[in-house]
Amino acid sequence: MTAAVKPARAAVIGGGVIGGGWVARLIQNGVDVGIYDPDPEASRKIDAVMTNADAALGKLTMAPLPRRGEMRFAGSVAEAVAGAELIVEAVPERLDIKQAVYAEIEAAAAPDALISSSTSGILPSDLQAKMDRPERLLVGHPFNPVYLLPLVELVGGKSTSAETIERAAGFFAGIGMHPLRIRKEIEAFVADRFLEAVWREALWLVKDGIATTEEIDDAIRFGFGLRWAQMGLFETYRVAGGEAGMAHFIAQFGPCLKWPWTKLMDVPELTDELVQAISDQSDAQSGMHSIRELERIRDTNLVAILQALKANDWGAGRTLAAWETALYDAVPAATATDDTDQPIETMRQQVPAAWTDYNGHMNEARYLDCFSMATDAMMRRIGIDADYLAAGGSFFTVETHIRHLDEVTAGNEIFATSQVLLGEGKKMQLFHHLYADGADGPRLLATGEHMLIHVDMNSRSSSLPTDEVAAKLAALAAAHASLPRPDGAGRAIGG
């Protein structure tokens, strides 16, 4: 299995819909990104993408996110790619433009930098035909919105090295994606060939007056689209075959493939009349919404589907869960310190817009979420990791007391520090402080005191932790015993 290792620095050449989506996914995963696009509106357009991406991310996951990467607009391709390990090309779908961009990239990029094209269908062998070092180019074809949909098709050309494919798979997995390695290069790769077939048939249905654009979309979103979202094509038909499985399905429905049901090998002429009819129907279908509103509606629906799939450990939800686990596991390394004679920093991130209420302030439930992240970080520090949980051990929170002391708005960076008040036997008592960074120094937002009991999740009863976990917890408790008792510790409401 490919090791997931995100790049420290990346570059995105082209700031359109796909390029902006790449910027958002990389920035949100803590990757510094250099951006080049000659369009004077590029900055505004990417800011709009980031606004939607941040709103979606705030709903998608409660995992502790890394410090956001730095977004830097460059004045040239050379400036954008300087120091980048991963260079994403997302310029218009013209071979001559892409090859000219690669020449500029190669003149300035690091010798070991990977070049990933977001092309929807141009063969990588054609893309790399004029390169000095073609072995480091591959196609990394994503799907819109890039910041939410995890699939990225990896396609190598005749000169692409196996090492390039392997490194690219690691980079994309490291930013929460599902890299799908395409075995042979072919025009439009795999996913877009399906989309093109459905699109071709849909054009005929509109032209022949069989269905409107809205009716076609309804046929997909109320029917097989829901099945495809979680089972794809072959697994769906395997189920349709009943207990006899796929062989029975093919025997029963295979002959239908010879019937003249589709016009997949024929394309209707896109006359002015047909284009106008499609445009008018599309306006009637959803013209009451702006494109940005439709993007937000789409993102909200995708988040709900991804969360449902995660709850069932299935499909794209499994990729989401793996990314979240990696985010949680990264916390101990990010907060690692041998200096235990002071409270330990256990979470740090910017406040997403989705965390705020109608007053524009972070809502009270998110204060608890922050303290939950801090508690999880302390648990991982003493050895309560994924393997420990899988073995059936964990600490469960049995009592919590939060004091809300100040407000914070979206975009502010917040962080928590944690102190062990008690760590012996089955008990772990933690005290967290939540701060907001400011020009005049940290500002205290809230405190949270938590009592946890170790539990055997198989018997659902309290139990002693392993000796190794108990020793790490006791060592932290002993180190923190000399610290002043926090203000508010042991306090009841109104006390």
Please report the pLDDT score of residue 334 as a whole number: 56
Of the candidate ranges 66-75, 305-314, 345-354, 453-462, the one whose mean pLDDT is the lowest: 345-354
What is the mean predicted confidence (pLDDT) over 287-306? 90
Amino acid 256: pLDDT: 73
Give the pLDDT of residue 33. 98
Secondary element (H or E) of residue 199: helix 191-207
Amino acid at 416: A
Q: Is residue 295 exposed (0-12), middle (13-18) or buried (19+ Cβ within 10 Å)?
A: buried
Binned at pLDDT 50, 70 and 90, residue 443 comes out as very high
16, pLDDT greater than 80: yes
- Using a pLDDT cut of 70, give the percent of the chain over it: 97
Average pLDDT score over residue span 100-125: 97
Q: Is the pLDDT of residue 481 over 90?
A: yes
Distance CA 21, CA 10 (A): 14
CB 290 within 8 A of CB 300: no
d(CA 313, CA 324): 13
Higher pLDDT, residue 33 or 244: 33
Q: Which two tokens stand for residue 37?
A: 């696009």
pLDDT above 70 for 333: no
Q: Is the pLDDT of residue 264 over 80?
A: no
Calculate the average pLDDT of the chain: 92
Per-residue model confidence as pLDDT tens digits over 127-178: 999 999 999 999 999 999 999 999 999 999 999 999 999 999 999 999 999 9
Nearest to 373 by CA among 445, 427, 306, 430: 430
DSSP 256: G
What are the residue ranges of helices labelled H in 335-393? 364-381, 386-390
pLDDT bucket at 337, cuts 50 / 70 / 90: low
Q: Residue 123: what pLDDT? A: 97
* Least confident stretch, 147-151, 189-193, 239-243, 330-334: 330-334
Question: What are the Cα distances from residue 181, in Å, to 19, 133, 318, 327, 370?
Answer: 21, 21, 18, 24, 37
Q: What are phi and psi of 12, to 5 degrees?
A: -125, 120
Q: Verify cis geometry, omega within 30 degrees of 0, for the bond prior to 145.
A: yes
User: Largest Cα–Cα distance in the chain?
Assistant: 82
**pLDDT of amino acid 234:** 87
Q: Looking at residues 77-101, what average pLDDT do you find? A: 97
Residue ranges of domains in the chain, CATH in brackets: 9-189 (3.40.50.720), 192-288 (1.10.1040.10), 335-480 (3.10.129.10)
Instruction: Give how far Cα 188 sits from Cα of 24, 121, 420, Å.
Output: 25, 4, 56
Rounded CA-CA distance 297/290 in Å is: 11
Give the per-residue pLDDT at 242: 84
Above 80 in pLDDT, residue 73?
yes
The full DSSP string for 379-407 is HHHTT--HHHHHTTEEEEEEEEEEEE---
pLDDT value, residue 495: 56
Tell me how far CA of residue 112 lies from CA of 109, 126, 135, 174, 254, in angstroms: 8, 21, 10, 18, 49
What's the pLDDT band for 332 if we cut at 50, 70, 90? low
Classify residue 107 as exposed, middle or buried by CB count within 10 Å of its CB (0-12, 13-18, 19+). exposed
Query: pLDDT value at position 335?
Result: 58
Give me the pLDDT at residue 336, please. 57
- List the structure tokens of 435: 């701060």
Of 11-25, 126-140, 329-343, 345-359, which gets the smallest average pLDDT? Answer: 329-343
The pLDDT, as a whole number, for residue 244 is: 81
Closest by Cα among 469, 447, 448, 465 to 456: 465
Sign of CA dihedral 92, 132, 26, 437: negative
pLDDT at 92 over 60: yes
Q: Is 394 left (phi over 0), alpha (psi -120 to 50) or beta?
A: beta
Residue 141 token pair: 């074809």
Q: Which of 82-86, 241-245, 351-355 has the highest mean pLDDT?
A: 82-86
At 89, which helix (H) or strand (E)?
strand 86-89
